[in-house]
Amino acid sequence: MLPHITGFAAAMGQILFVLHSISGCQLLAPHGKPTARSERGTGGPVSKSSDVTPRHAGAATPQPKGSDSQAGAPPSAGAAPGSGPAMPTTNKPPVTPSPGNITTPGGLPSVDNPFATTRLFVNPDYAKSVAETAASAPNAAALGKLQQVSTAFWIDSTAKVTPLRTYLDAAHQAASSGGKIAVTLVVYNLPDRDCAAKASNGELQLSNNGEVQYQSYIDAIRGVLAQHSDLTIAIILEPDSLGNIVTNIGVAKCHDAQGAYERGVSYAIQTLAALPNVSIYLDAAHSGWLGWPSNRTGFATEVKKVLQMTDGRSAIRGFATNVANYSPLSVPAGATPTWYDPSNPARDELTYVQLLGQDLQNAGVNQVHFVIDTSRNGVIDSRQSWGSWCNIAASGLGVRPIVAPRADIATIDAYLWIKPPGESDGTSDGGATRFDATCAGSDAMTPAPEAGAWFGAYLIHAASKAQPPL
């Protein structure tokens, strides 16, 4: 890993950013996860309780997420589009990240940005999988560069707590060479997880003492984290959870899981945020799921409720968007992508985080910093609908991880690769237990393995369409 650049180099970076903005350059699309991790929304929010709107778009179903059986973000169903004024889309292009894995600030980070002055840890197991795929790929040289890119570690089952220790031990070793190391973890194992999805259902069931098991799971994670106090740890907390409560409460499973989700998220915040080196980013779906005014305000109200349950403490750093989705960072003014629904004022992730930030503050939530998943959103018009979330064949890798990427949107702490590119969103096998028809759709790459399994063919293709190019 390359050392973090400070002082004069950082100052030069700010000058280059200004020049880059003045010259007016390419617009890059966001990572690749519709809502949470792989939502399935399509159009706008649904008004009927029986309708399900995806996270990615605004009307479909949730999708699988990142590792083991990660499901994407849920639909944005539930409420009808609001009529509030739309914020104009940000037209400035995102800053191109520095080479390699340097986390040089691209903007003006707030003093408490947990990623400031750190190096993002590269998962050795991910680097190994990339190397194995690159060995027989036509774009081997480009793929090889991904071995130096930081990706998140998903703790999506109780069995992943033991590997977490090994992962953090490796990060500790990397820190021994000097400087702070930051790791990104995804805590994703609520009972009856992804209540509106199929491909990402989890191991814990409310009908089988799931809430108690979830608390034990959180306690076990805290025990491991407490032994690695030298690391800067960012936690992406429960993708798709509160988004499902806001838009899919008409789904019986979501309705029945609401209280458990709220209590589980609250318990996780209280337990994990108590560690001084841990910063929590609560999942906030994506622009195509919660972008409509009624969905955004509904989410803000739900967040306030959960935070009031955490002993009255707002112990989170902020929110994570576009987890495992494909919503672009920025859509050029006047552009009309195939998937875009004009009733949604949040046409891209940069607009979404600004609008959502306002709604959260209006609801009395003040921790409104954001991280955005840019792992697979390099191609703006990659899918047929906003609700498509599974292994999108035309997608490309997005902006590489970078700290404080926007000088004009200081609330964005970082762009991260939360969904490790190369991990499947869900299987295309119609006979599989967790099969979701979206994963066999016309804009999905097939054949595809189970959610979280390695999908080398997908990585090869997405890398060939990366923006910026590898």
Q: Is residue 63 part of a domain?
A: yes
Contact 191, 257 (CB under 8 A): yes
Q: State the Cα–Cα distance between residues 298 and 289, nearest whole angstrom.
A: 12
Q: Is residue 169 part of a domain?
A: yes
The catalytic site residues sit at: 194, 240, 425
The owner of tokens 């997880």 is: 193
For residue 173, the tally of other CB atoms under 10 A from its CB is 11
Tokens of 425: 């969103």
Q: For the whole model, what pTM was predicted?
A: 0.81
Domain of residue 321, CATH code: 3.20.20.40
Q: Residue 13's domain spans which residues?
A: 8-464
Q: Is residue 49 part of a domain?
A: yes
Per the structure, the count of domains in the chain is 1
Q: Is residue 470 part of a domain?
A: no
Per-residue pLDDT of the chain (470 residues; tens, 9 = 90+): 333 333 333 333 333 333 333 333 322 222 223 333 333 333 333 322 222 333 333 333 444 454 544 333 333 333 322 323 233 333 333 333 332 333 333 444 556 899 999 999 999 999 999 999 999 999 999 999 999 999 999 999 999 999 999 999 999 999 988 889 999 999 999 999 999 877 777 899 999 999 999 999 999 999 999 999 999 999 999 999 999 999 999 999 999 999 999 999 999 999 999 999 999 999 999 999 999 999 999 999 999 999 999 875 658 999 999 999 999 999 998 899 999 999 999 999 999 999 999 999 999 998 899 999 999 999 999 999 998 999 999 999 999 999 999 999 999 999 999 999 999 999 999 999 989 999 999 999 999 999 999 999 999 999 999 999 99
Q: Is residue 2 part of a domain?
A: no
Contacts of 194 (CB under 8 A, 6+ apart): 62, 64, 65, 71, 72, 74, 200, 201, 202, 240, 244
Q: State the Cα–Cα distance between residues 248 and 423, nearest whole angstrom.
A: 26
Q: Is residue 1 part of a domain?
A: no
Question: Exposed, middle or buried by CB within 10 Å (0-12, 13-18, 19+), for 444?
Answer: buried
